[in-house]
Amino acid sequence: MHPIISVSNLSKTYASGFQALKNVDLEIRAGEIFALLGPNGAGKTTLISIICGIVRASEGRVLADGYDIVKDYRAARSKIGLVPQELTTDAFETVWATVSFSRGLFGKPPNPPLVERVLKDLSLWEKKDNKIITLSGGMKRRVLIAKALAHEPQILFLDEPTAGVDVELRQDMWRLVRELRDTGVTIILTTHYIEEAEEMADRIGVINKGEIVLVEEKAELMRKLGRKRLILHLQNPLASVPQSLADHRLELSAHGSELIYTYDTQGERTGITALLADLDRAGIRFKDLETEQSSLEEIFVSLVRERS
């Protein structure tokens, strides 16, 4: 199956001379939820803006559902909906008018029942005749989502959809995103929050300083995350790991006062019981023990650090 979005060799240098994207290659699969994770200024918004036609690429090309976003911009753009990071809405329009406007703008004939459904899905129905300026920030965010959905896009970009959104709305939003995915919409979202990517995404991409540093199935990432470390604080420091414990592939650290055992929580057996029995037999005593799990957060931070 060909990817629904294919970004190849994409670079962007702003007029200021700042290079925000460096030879980015990325493929998004049809029907998936893809989370783009990265620190402030990593280039997430720049990447999305180029795909949506708001920013011009300096180099490289992007295909959306097989259409070149520059040459076949009409076909490409009519498939895409964008919820921007900033709360940019008109002020004096009503909710109903602005959502209907978006539908027309994307070349679709008026369809009041559809607009009604979108507004109801986003709990905006009671506000349909209110001017946008009278809405709260969270409601404005929902209006932006409604606008993006008004033309029934096949691909939906959500640029930090949960910034400044309360827990309840966040959950509503995730429910909506899943429902959309179930109807076949491909969703690309950016976030700073690892839990969010963890909870929602099928695949996760990490971007830092304009470069994609990792793209992985979430399940695969989680498997990597499934590794745990058991740390034993020894009563008496060791100079080296005794020969009798060699099978356990232990590491010695903190000047010989800690033994570290790495194991897979998802494996058949962890080997902890055997290790403890062998330690006892070797006469090694410990005063404390702890376990550690490397989180996506850690992987993320170490990836981001590595590059800087």
Partner 1 sequence: MNLYAVRSIYLFEMARTWRTLLQSIVSPVISTSLYFVVFGSAIGSRIDAIDGVDYGAFIVPGLIMLSLLTQSISNAAFGIYFPRFTGTIFEILSAPVSYLEIVLSYVGAAATKSILLGLIILATASLFVPLTIVHPVWMLLFLVLTAVTFSLFGFIIGIWADSFEKLQFVPMLVVTPLTFLGGSFYAIDMLPPFWRTVSLFNPVVYLVSGFRWSFFGTADVAIGVSLAMTLVFLGICLAVVAWIFRTGYRLKN
Ligand X SMILES: Nc1ncnc2c1ncn2[C@@H]1O[C@H](COP(=O)(O)OP(=O)(O)OP(=O)(O)O)[C@@H](O)[C@H]1O
- Note the residues at the interface with partner 1 (CB under 8 A): 14-15, 49, 52-56, 73-78, 80, 82, 84, 86, 88-93, 97, 100-109, 147
CB of 86 to Mg ion, least distance (A): 9
Angle value at C-alpha 130, between 126 and 135, nearest 5 degrees: 90
Q: Are 118 and 70 in contact (CB under 8 A)?
A: no
For Mg ion, the closer CB: 13 or 85: 85
User: Quick check: 267 binds ligand X (CB under 6 A)?
Assistant: no
Q: What Rg value do the Cα atoms of the chain yield, rounded?
A: 25
Angle value at C-alpha 145, between 142 and 149, nearest 5 degrees: 140
For partner 1, the closer CB: 54 or 254: 54
Q: Which residue spans within 44-131 are E strands per DSSP?
A: 59-64, 67-68, 80-83
Listed ranges 10-18, 150-158, 219-227, 242-250: which one lies at the site for ligand X (CB under 6 A): 10-18
Q: Are 234 and 287 in contact (CB under 8 A)?
A: yes
CB of 5 to Mg ion, least distance (A): 18
CB of 101 to partner 1, least distance (A): 5
Name which of ligand X, Mg ion, partner 1, none residue 18 binds, using a CB cut-off of 5 to 8 Å depending on partner kind. Answer: ligand X
209 CB burial (10 A radius; 0-12, 13-18, 19+): middle
Name which of Mg ion, partner 1, ligand X, none residue 273 binds, using a CB cut-off of 5 to 8 Å depending on partner kind. Answer: none
Name which of partner 1, Mg ion, ligand X, none residue 42 binds, using a CB cut-off of 5 to 8 Å depending on partner kind. Answer: ligand X
Q: For tokens 């037999």, what's the residue?
A: 281
Q: Is 228 helix (H, G, I), strand (E, B) or coil?
A: strand
For Mg ion, the closer CB: 20 or 143: 20
User: What residues from 34 to 93 belong to the interface with Mg ion (CB under 5 A)?
Assistant: 44-45, 85
CB of 68 to partner 1, least distance (A): 13
Listed ranges 11-19, 105-113, 222-230, 234-242: which one lies at the site for ligand X (CB under 6 A): 11-19
Both tokens of 197, joined, read 């990517």
Name which of ligand X, Mg ion, partner 1, none residue 38 binds, using a CB cut-off of 5 to 8 Å depending on partner kind. Answer: ligand X
Shortest CA distance to 187 belongs to which of 83, 99, 295?
83
CB of 113 to partner 1, least distance (A): 17
CB of 11 to partner 1, least distance (A): 14
How many CA atoms are closer than 13 Å to the CA of 193, on its beta-carbon side? 13
CB of 55 to partner 1, least distance (A): 5
How many CA atoms are closer than 13 Å to the CA of 143, on its beta-carbon side? 30
What CA–CA distance (Å, rounded) separates 95 from 295?
A: 41
For Mg ion, the closer CB: 39 or 138: 39
User: Quick check: 43 binds ligand X (CB under 6 A)?
Assistant: yes
What CA–CA distance (Å, rounded) separates 176 from 174?
A: 5
Residues contributing to the site for ligand X (CB under 6 A): 14, 16, 18, 20, 38, 40-46, 85
